[in-house]
Amino acid sequence: MFSKETYTKRRELLRERVSRGGIILLPGNSEAPRNYPDNGYHFRQDSSFLYFFGIQQPDLVGMLDIDSGEDWLFGDDLSMDDIIWTGPQPTISDLGAKCGVTSTASLAALQEMLTLAIRKGRHIHFLPPYRADNKLKLSRWLGISPDAVADRISVELAIAIVSLRDKKSEEEIREIEDACEIGYRMHTAAMRMCRPGVCERDIAGAIEGISLEMGEGVSFHSIVTQHGETLHNHSHNGILEDGRMLLVDAGAENLMNYCSDFTRTYPVNGKFSPMQRDIYNIVLAANTRAFEMARPEILYRDVHFGAVRVILEGLKELGLVRGNIDDAIAKGAHALFMPHGLGHMMGIDVHDMEDIGEEYVGYDLETERSAQLGVSCLRMARRLKPGMVMTDEPGIYFIPAYIAKWKAEGLNKEFINFDKLEPYMNFGGIRIEDDLLITETGNRILGKRRIPVTVEEIETFMAGE
């Protein structure tokens, strides 16, 4: 945990930023059962609860009284029966002391306080629940149906929390750098293991083991696949084949639940073919262009356009694309090759605050989400600010079914040389992802060492030199 002053200050700032008075409720998470109640998934605390209270323990609820300025932590102390199974645990009042909260009480007391507050007409602010049990708890606490919970979320609270969490402090950056180091170890281990005949599962298991050895585990299900053209391919059943490429998109949560997220794509046999090298270098140039552009006040949507321009220009040089690149981007022709956005915010969540809503995290009044092909997929469009942590993850994918659809419909046929795509139907896909911190003047790549990324670095590394 950070010091109790950190959490006290964060809660103080939050109270100041929610101008409509009332009560802010921040439910922590409970254990989530896998196949029966006592066999749970690895416990993961709610990220906003972690941000404001820092305690990684199930069945707690945080409350901020905006009008009185008092913070509360609710939970039930363990019974002797619990202690027999779990061992002695800190009391709720001990936990409160760790995060600077002196008012603690049981969950039954929370229900009573909320009932009274509602009777007095006080406003209860809460975020959109993403777990069914928390949705049911909110429904019970507020005396409304579960279906009505979504209509009662507090947009003001959502915007206030995003405005705090989107700027990472120096102590948070140190935690993210720690997660990046775990990511470095995972990715370099994968590169060392990669050779024909190895199963994708061997690599996935090894790198996920590193994430558990050094931290809280993976920040999302690892993608370890020769079918990089399937964006979120979670199958690990393939046997690595000479001549193909392996895409590894994986990251870790460190012990404080801060995340990393990296992608590398490399030849299974350790040597890029000319075709692989050409496409790889275009993706790398797009990744580099994003680093060159990312700085305070630029729209991340413009950085996305900068990267997709590099992709289309590169593909034009190879003869796969033709025509005016501005017109091609305006018509969304790049979406055939890169049907996703350039990146997302990262912090205590790998897609930071996605539970709160992309409309508040990646967009604002200036940047409404576009419905246009090639732009609608952007998770993050708004202006960058110092302290934001972003991923930069361009890619080029040859998705046979998608190419066939565009060809059949003649979509963007003035820009795409469909016949020239035939040799790429078994190519797969390439993505390169790094994490960057927006600084006062530009940005810097996070992680004390960068995972090998150029063709030369990768070939040298894979040769074990």
Q: 229-266 as b/e, with b when 16 or more CB fall inside 10 Å?
A: bebebeebebebeeebbbbbbbbbbbebbbbbbbbbbb
Q: How near is the Cβ of 220 to ligand GLY at its closest, in Å?
A: 6
Q: Which of residues 23-82 bind ligand GLY (CB under 6 A)?
A: none
Q: Which residue's structure tokens are 């913070």?
A: 71
Closer by beta carbon to ligand GLY, 73 or else 342 = 342
Residue 249 binds ligand GLY (CB under 6 A)? yes
Closer by beta carbon to ligand GLY, 110 or else 186 = 186
Residue 220 binds ligand GLY (CB under 6 A)? yes
Name 225's bridge partners: 247
Q: How near is the Cβ of 296 to ligand GLY at its closest, in Å?
A: 23
Q: How near is the Cβ of 363 to Mn ion at its closest, in Å?
A: 18
The listed partner (Mn ion, ligand GLY, none) that binds 220, CB under 5 to 8 Å by sort, is ligand GLY
Cβ contact 321:328 at 8 Å: yes
The secondary structure element, H or E, covering residue 155 is helix 155-165
The listed partner (Mn ion, ligand GLY, none) that binds 379, CB under 5 to 8 Å by sort, is none
Task: Kindly state the number of chain residues that form the binding site for ligand GLY, as judged by CB under 6 A.
Answer: 4
Q: How near is the Cβ of 245 to ligand GLY at its closest, in Å?
A: 17
User: Site mask, ligand GLY, residues 180-219, x = CB under 6 A?
Assistant: ----------------------------------------
Q: Which of residues 388-447 bind ligand GLY (CB under 6 A)?
A: none
Closer by beta carbon to ligand GLY, 172 or else 249 = 249
Q: How near is the Cβ of 66 to ligand GLY at its closest, in Å?
A: 35
The secondary structure element, H or E, covering residue 61 is strand 61-65
- Contacts to Mn ion by CB under 5 A: 261, 391
User: Site mask, ligand GLY, residues 258-297, x = CB under 6 A?
Assistant: ---x------------------------------------
Residue 461 binds ligand GLY (CB under 6 A)? no
- How many angstroms separate the Cα of 326 from the Cα of each of 300, 332, 334? 18, 10, 11
| DSSP letter for each residue of 163-192 | HHHTS--HHHHHHHHHHHHHHHHHHHHHHH
Closer by beta carbon to ligand GLY, 25 or else 286 = 286
**In 224-336, which ranges are continuous DSSP H helix?**
274-293, 300-317, 325-330
Name 266's bridge partners: 246
Closer by beta carbon to Mn ion, 216 or else 433 = 433
Which of these, 253, 276, 274, lies nearest to 266 by C-alpha position? 276
Cβ contact 390:343 at 8 Å: yes
Q: How near is the Cβ of 48 to ligand GLY at its closest, in Å?
A: 20
Residue 349 binds ligand GLY (CB under 6 A)? no
User: What sign for the dihedral angle of Cα 440, 441, 442, 444?
Assistant: negative
The listed partner (Mn ion, ligand GLY, none) that binds 288, CB under 5 to 8 Å by sort, is none
Q: Which residues contact 71 (CB under 8 A, 6 or more apart)?
A: 8, 11, 62, 63, 64, 65, 100, 101, 103
User: What residues line the site for ligand GLY (CB under 6 A)?
Assistant: 220, 249, 261, 344
